[in-house]
Amino acid sequence: MSKPLQLSAETAVKLSKELNVPLEHLMHMPKHILLQKLAELAKNSNNAPEPTAENNQADKGATDS
């Protein structure tokens, strides 16, 4: 049986939320499966449209009040 992944608590919680996997499952997930899921997540995030500079300026103006 493999030992739990060596992740910080913050990293484990973030990954659990991003991958939509229970924390307990994440900690005992084999490394090769975790790397595969991280690659899929990165691929999907690269396909998402990036916010434009206009949207960023509009957001900053709304929060500077």
Q: Dihedrals φ, ψ of 48, to 5°?
A: -75, 140
Report if residue 2 sits inside a domain. Answer: no
Domain assignment of residue 59, given as a range: 9-63
- Note the pTM of the prediction, 2 decimals: 0.61
Number of structural domains (the chain) is 1
- Residue 16 is predicted with a pLDDT of 93
Task: Kindly state whether residue 4 falls inside one of the protein's structural domains.
Answer: no
Average pLDDT over residues 6-13: 91
Looking at the domain assignment, is residue 42 inside a domain? yes
pLDDT at 57 over 80: no
What tokens does 53 get?
A: 């500079």
Residue 34 pLDDT grade (very low, low, confident, very high; cuts 50, 70, 90) = very high
Domain assignment of residue 41, yes or no: yes
Cβ-in-10-Å burial (0-12, 13-18, 19+) of 40 comes to exposed
**Position 1 in a domain:** no
Determine the pLDDT at residue 32: 93
